[in-house]
């Protein structure tokens, strides 16, 4: 959600939160629950409609399909609750070599690591892996497998700073001629010669222990119509 100031953020969050418990609401119900003047309630509702979060049918407002996409992560967005970040971590391999990146951004700035990034809402693990490889190296590859699922945390003085759920995948490429991006410097390493001190420890462990493993993650789709969920269908 886009905001323009802490007060605006608070009031729009309050409006959005109402729809976690209600499918539809009238204007006076929103105004009363948020406890703001009618002109301010109307202003924030209009802005949320402009952003595609709310729609209106007759006297009732409702969350659009775009708005409903935020429901599972709402508490994370407003900072009330933090949860591990799902990341697809891709081993790009050719023969006995693996392509690593020296990260330009925190966390893990200046460490060598595998290519990684978040999975988009409409993507499979395969599509995410191939997109990340293309965007960060300009290489085309063939998706081979999901190798492992790994939960990692970074702690400092007994405080958890970062938490990730890594979906470790493998992509094979035929060409070694990469093109670097702003994400960081790229370099091919012989798998057997990678040194632990040069790389993020969890990446090193995955390369050494799970590079040739495979795990099956079931993927399914459920249909929703008129607020009812049905038809569980597994994907290939």
Q: Is 54 helix (H, G, I), strand (E, B) or coil?
A: strand
Total domains in the chain come to 2
Q: Are residues 45 and 96 in the same domain?
A: no
User: Torsion angle, CA of 6/71/84/105, rounded to 10 degrees?
Assistant: -50
Residue at 23 is within a domain: yes
Q: Are residues 91 and 203 in the same domain?
A: yes
Instruction: Look up residue 151 and give its two tokens.
Output: 């939960």
Residue with tokens 């001190």: 197
Q: Are residues 41 and 155 in the same domain?
A: no
CATH number of 48's domain: 1.10.10.10
Residue at 217 is within a domain: no
* pLDDT tens figures, 131-183: 999 999 999 999 999 999 999 999 999 899 999 999 999 999 999 999 999 99
Residue range(s) defining the domain that contains residue 36: 6-77
The pLDDT assigned to 197 comes to 82
Q: Are residues 136 and 167 in the same domain?
A: yes
**110 DSSP 8-state letter:** T
Q: What is the pTM of this model?
A: 0.80
Q: How far is CA 174 from CA 5, 13, 79, 171, 210, in A?
A: 49, 49, 44, 10, 22
Element holding 129 (H helix, E strand): helix 125-137
Q: Are residues 110 and 141 in the same domain?
A: yes
Residue at 103 is within a domain: yes
Q: Are residues 34 and 133 in the same domain?
A: no
Instruction: Look up residue 53 and give its two tokens.
Output: 């979060």
């Amino acid at each position: 959600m886009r905001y323009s100031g802490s007060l605006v953020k608070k009031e729009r969050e309050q409006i959005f939160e109402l729809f976690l418990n209600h499918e539809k609401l009238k204007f006076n119900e929103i105004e009363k629950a948020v406890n703001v003047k009618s002109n301010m309630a109307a202003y924030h509702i209009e802005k949320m409609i402009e952003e595609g979060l709310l729609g209106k049918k007759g006297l009732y407002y409702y969350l659009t399909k775009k708005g409903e996409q935020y429901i599972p992560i709402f508490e994370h967005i407003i900072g009330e609750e933090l949860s591990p970040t799902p990341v697809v971590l891709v081993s790009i391999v050719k023969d006995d070599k693996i392509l690593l990146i020296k990260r330009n951004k925190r966390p893990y700035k200046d460490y060598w690591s595998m290519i990684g990034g978040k999975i988009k809402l409409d993507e499979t693990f395969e599509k995410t892996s191939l997109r990340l490889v293309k965007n960060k190296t300009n290489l085309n590859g063939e998706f081979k497998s999901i190798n492992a699922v790994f939960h990692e945390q970074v702690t400092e003085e007994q405080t958890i700073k970062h938490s990730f759920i890594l979906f470790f995948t493998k992509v094979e490429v035929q060409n070694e001629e990469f093109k670097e991006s702003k994400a960081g410097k790229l370099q091919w390493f012989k798998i057997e010669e990678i040194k632990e001190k040069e790389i993020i420890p969890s990446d090193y462990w995955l390369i050494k222990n799970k590079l040739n493993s495979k795990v099956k993650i079931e993927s399914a789709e459920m249909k929703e119509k008129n607020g009812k969920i049905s038809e569980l269908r597994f994907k290939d």
